[in-house]
Structure 1
Amino acid sequence: MKRLSIQALSAGALFASLAVAHAGEVQVAVAANFAAPFQKIAAAFATESGHTAVAVTGSTGKFYTQIKEGAPFEVLLAADDETPKKLEDEGLAVKGQRFTYARGKLVLWSAKAGVVDDKGEVLSKGVFNHLALANPKLAPYGAAGVEVMKALGVHDLLLPKLVQGDNIAQTYQFVSTGNAELGFVALSQVAPPDKPALGSWWVVPAKLYTPILQDAALLKKGEANAAAGALLKYLKGDKAKAIIKSYGYEL
């Protein structure tokens, strides 16, 4: 019996050492709107796989430029579906690995209660000094905000009031600190599942802007990295999907 116990213990120790040996690290470029849900996904992924996902957050447009210039990212979680496809066409992403991991929702948000009404009529009234949005040339949520203003016929009226952030995280910061009374941000930022919702907001009807389909891509630098492939597979699983959905994204 003692021999069997020793053998079992040795086998367990061997299994553990093998798991550690096979554990890897993956460098991930994450769209700023997806920072909070990815933090939870990365933690669960590490627990279940042993792999570590190291995330850098920012605007999809800047990531595109950085990847073209040789940045060491292995996986891209973009805020659109165009950038991953472009990288694939240019030979910087692995073909056949791209997929939509979330569909984003745009909101008009104020950190103060009662500022934004449930129909977004505050935009046409214009009784505010600053409206924040992410740079539409770099951030899909910013481009969506421009589409909404044009669809409502208020873009030219509001142009002098616009304040641009480099990405959706900086845009959120402008509004949360009061530097802008309201702004276009992601629903995931305004109503996270683990924090009380603050202020007032209007969930912009999807018909007013092009669908924000957020695609994942396996970049060429991650093609031979088992941890990169494992992360993309994990994103398609039920646990990751539950986290994504809890932040207000559609699947």
Structure 2
Amino acid sequence: MRRRFLTALFALIAIGRLSGAAADEVQVAVAANFAGPLQAMAEDFRNTTGHRLVASFGATGQFYAQIRHGAPFEVFLAADAATPARLEEEGEALPGSRFTYAIGTLALWSARPGYVDAGGEVLKGQGFRHLAIANPKTAPYGQAAIQVLERLGLREALAGRLVEGQSITQAHQFVASGNAELGFVALSQIQQDGRLGSGSAWIVPAGLHEPIRQDALILAKGRDNPAAQAFLDYLKGERAGRLIESFGYGR
């Protein structure tokens, strides 16, 4: 009896050690526009895999600089395709791990109901003083906003009314706080399950800017972390896909 008890006890200890070894955490740098989906999937990822996400949110360009200077990120979810490709070329990422996890959608949004019309004609009027955008030098959604203004022939006319946020999160905050009457934001910031949370919006036609293809990859610091690969596998799966699409992204 005592031998059987000890054998069972040692088996439980071994299982516990294996479980502990399998449960790791992964440090993820996440483009600010993807904060909502990432936060929504974090618990499901943990429940599904046993691993834990530790996420930081910000502008893609700023993350690039931090990664190049040794930041401890193991996975990068960018707001574009060019930055991850560049990191891969520079030896800062695991070759072959890069893939497109989402196609972003740009929206012109106001916190005021009825303020933004369905065709974005509000941009041609004089009824607003400030138009918020993300910094086009570091944030792909800011670059897309500038492209929209250029294709509408409004860039010069509205140059004096532009208010730049460091990231798409700050651009959204400018509008949400009323400091800007309207602004270009990520659709994912104002919509979930196909419903607008508040205010009024124009979903910008994709043909008015370059595609916002958002790529993910495992960084060099995550190459030996099983949680990093587990997260990318999860991100490619159907469960994550349905959630990502519910925030207005394409796949």
DSSP 3-state at the match of 1:215: strand
Report the counterpart of residue 148 of structure 1 in structure 2: 148
* 2:62 pairs with 1:70: no
**Aligned-partner Cα distance in 2 for 1:46–1:118:** 39
1:170-249 to structure 2, matched below 5 A, reads: 170-193=170-193, 197-249=197-249
Question: Once the 2 structures are TM-superposed, how far is the Cα of residue 156 of structure 1 from its aligned partner?
Answer: 0.5
Is the contact between residue 20 and residue 50 of structure 1 (CA under 8 Å) also seen in structure 2? no
Question: Between the two proteins, what is the percent identity of the paired residues?
Answer: 54
In structure 1, list runs of 5 or more residues that go unmatched: none
Deviations 1:112-131 (A, max 9, x none): 01110000001111320000
Q: Displacement of 1:205 after TM fit?
A: 0.3
Kindly provide the CA deviation profile for residues 141-164 of structure 1, in whole angstroms up to 9, marking residues without a partner as x: 000000000000011010000000
**CA apart distance, 1:40:** 1.8
CA distance in 1, matches of 2:142, 2:95: 28
Note the alpha carbon deviations across 1:75-129, whole angstroms, 9 max, x for none.
0000000000000011111111100000000000000011100000011113200
With normalisation by structure 1, the TM-score equals 0.94
Return the alpha-carbon distance in structure 2 between the equivalents of residues 240 and 249 of structure 1.
Answer: 12
**What is the aligned partner in structure 1 of residue 56 from structure 2?**
56
Instruction: Find the counterpart in structure 2 of residue 139 from structure 1.
Output: 139
Shift of 1:15: 3.2
The 1-side partners of 2:66 and 2:100 are apart by: 22
For residues 64 and 217 of structure 1, the distance between their equivalents in structure 2, rounded to whole angstroms, comes to 13
TM-score (norm 2): 0.94
Closer/same/farther in 2, CA of residues 238 and 6 from structure 1, 3 Å limit? farther
RMSD between superposed Cα atoms in Å? 2.1
CA–CA distance in structure 2, aligned partners of residues 36 and 17 of structure 1: 34
Equivalent in the alignment of 2:23: 23
CA separation in 1, counterparts of 2:112 and 2:12? 56
CA deviation vs aligned residue, 1:212-249 (integer Å, no higher than 9, x gap): 00000110011111111111111001111111011110
Which range moves more in the overlay, 241-250 or 187-196?
187-196
Runs of 4+ in 1 over 4 A off after TM superposition: 3-14
Contact 1:98 1:216 in 2 (8 A): yes
Q: CA distance change for structure 1 residues 21 and 122 in 2, over 3 Å: closer, same or farther?
A: same
